Amino acid sequence: MDNNHTVRNLILWGLGFALMVAALSMVFVYVPTEKESGIVQRIFYFHVPVAWVSFLAFFITFISSILYLRKRTTKWDAIGCASAEIGVIFTTLVLITGPIWAKPAWGIWWTWDARLTTSLVLWLIYIGYLLVRSLATDSARGARYSAVIGIVGFIDVPIVFFTVNLWRTQHPTTIIFEGGLENSMLITLLVCLAAFTVLYVILVMQSTSLKTMEAEIKHMKNIQSD
Amino acid sequence: MNRAFTKILAIFWKDLLNEFRTKEIIVSVLVFILLVLVIFNFAFDTGTGASDTVASGILWVALTFGGVIGLNRTFAIEKENSRLEGLMLCPVDRSVIYWGKLAGIFTFMLVIAVVITPVFLALFNLPIFLPRLALIIILALLGFSAVGTLFSALAVNTRSRDIMLPVLLLPVVVPVIVSAVKATGPVLAGMPWGEISTWLQIMVAFDIIYLVIATLVFEYVIEE
């Protein structure tokens, strides 16, 4: 069992490392510079995968939250929490890389467009998720409460997007994907997506096993003190 | 079904009676909202009248902030005298407790809105008789209360609960606030139904979705 774990971890780490190196070299060497927006467009290969991972992370939190409330095993709570933490970090990266790109491309740091606003609201919801965990009067409560927020918050995402989209229809912003992507750019994007997805899986697994160990140690301490 | 309704009514009646005797929530929230309106008048220098968009924003910020304060109080009262434990000892389904509390909170919010909205319209020199605004207020406050009841039951068991509730609640009710503000503007300007119907539909959808979800997950919030 333990041996299997090590082998699986090794494969994942190796795959992640290879993909990351490939992604970096493709972004900086292989892919041609975009004609209109110039060199800054390369942040796109970082921005989009990071955004994808943050949505994936919150989706996994949503699923784990449901499973935790059904089955009450610490494993699902640990996965849900780990995924939410990573999701918040990646959403923060989205909110940082976005304006860096937007300033040269659109001439503004921020606009209240549907995608941007939804990301910001999403970020705030999951900050609340993490806050509830640390401020709940005991850890079992925190797990239950955050699971409820993991469910309620995720369902809110499409509604927020739809509403804000409608709210801003009179103000069309720059269209990013006009006419699709060139082949080399698409391949680079796909490699970057794969690299970040593997990175996400590695991070969740590490964080989950850490949280499970923490819970075990806490449990042992409780037994000892009783 | 009928029995559950009687139980919901009993919890609702308890909250109503408590409010009649203490006047703790409605009066204090009303004063607070009035103060917010006064402050906004200075902040935006509205003079004799505000534009429809600014006025609609002012109304909804005031109602939202007042609502958060009211929500915090309703569950803090239950907590202070260990009444929440008493409520949980009742031989009723958890969802019955949710609907009972929701009925009380929604009613308080409505009473507050009924009193404060004419005052707001008068203060900002807007037309007083607006039946369509009543519909917007009912739909928005229902969605706000549906999520608010769930989250205030949750926030009451955390440390620094007074700040926990708005931090959790406000991002989730963003669709309601956007829709309410966008629908109120055209109503204040006397524009036709076409301008507001989409926003009303969003609020109806939000209300239904969150009433169902909150009913389903409420038992996990107050189980001990």
pLDDT range class, residue A162, cuts 50, 70, 90: confident
DSSP A36-98: TTBGGGGGHHHHHHHHHHHHHHHHHHHHHHHHHHHH--HHHHHHHHHHHHHHHHHHHHHHHHH
Please give the average per-residue pLDDT across B151-169, as a whole number.
Answer: 89
Cβ within 8 Å of residue B110, ≥6 positions away: B137, B138, B141
pLDDT tens sequence across A5-15? 788 888 889 99
pLDDT tens sequence across B119-139? 998 888 888 878 889 999 999
Q: How far apart are CA A97 and CA A203, in angstroms?
A: 20
Tell me if B147 sits within 8 A of A128, measured CB to CB.
no
Q: How far apart are CA B205 and CA A160, in angstroms?
A: 12
Residue contact A131–B164, C-beta within 8 A? yes
Helix H segments across B45-160? Answer: 52-80, 83-89, 94-123, 131-155
The secondary structure of residue B158, as a DSSP letter, is B
Tell me if A86 sits within 8 A of A57, measured CB to CB.
yes
A163 in contact with B, Cβ within 8 Å: yes
A28 in contact with B, Cβ within 8 Å: no
Q: What pLDDT does residue A174 have?
A: 45
B211 in contact with A, Cβ within 8 Å: no
Chain A residue at shortest CA distance from B206:
A159
Q: What pLDDT does residue A38 have?
A: 75
Chain B contacts of A131, Cβ < 8 Å? 164, 167
Asked if pLDDT for residue A130 goes beyond 90, the answer is yes
A67 in contact with B, Cβ within 8 Å: no
Asked if pLDDT for residue B194 goes beyond 90, the answer is no
Restricting to B residues 138-197, those with a Cβ less than 8 Å away from any Cβ of A are 147, 150, 154, 157-160, 164, 167-168, 170-172, 174-175, 178-179, 182
Shortest Cα distance from A144 to chain B (angstroms)? 7
A161 in contact with B, Cβ within 8 Å: no
Average pLDDT score, chain B: 88
Shortest Cα distance from A126 to chain B (angstroms)? 9
pLDDT range class, residue B160, cuts 50, 70, 90: confident
pLDDT range class, residue A172, cuts 50, 70, 90: very low
Residue contact A135–B160, C-beta within 8 A? yes
Angle, nearest 10°, between helix axes B197-222 and B174-188?
A: 150
Total CB pairs under 8 A between chain A and B: 83
Please give the average per-residue pLDDT across A116-130, as a whole number.
Answer: 92
Please give the average per-residue pLDDT across A104-130, as a whole number.
Answer: 87
Q: How far apart are CA B44 and CA B50, in angstroms?
A: 9
Q: What pLDDT does residue A111 have?
A: 82
Q: What pLDDT does residue B1 have?
A: 61
Please give the average per-residue pLDDT across B62-84, as a whole number.
Answer: 87
pTM: predicted TM-score of the whole model, two decimal places? 0.88
Residue B120 vs residues A16, A81, B36, B109: alpha-carbon distances, Å = 59, 44, 11, 15
Identity of the residue numbered B143: G
A140 in contact with B, Cβ within 8 Å: no
pLDDT tens sequence across A15-53? 989 999 988 888 888 877 776 677 777 888 888 899 999
Q: Mutating which of A152, A154, A165 best tests the B interface, going by the most B Cβ atoms within 10 A? A: A152
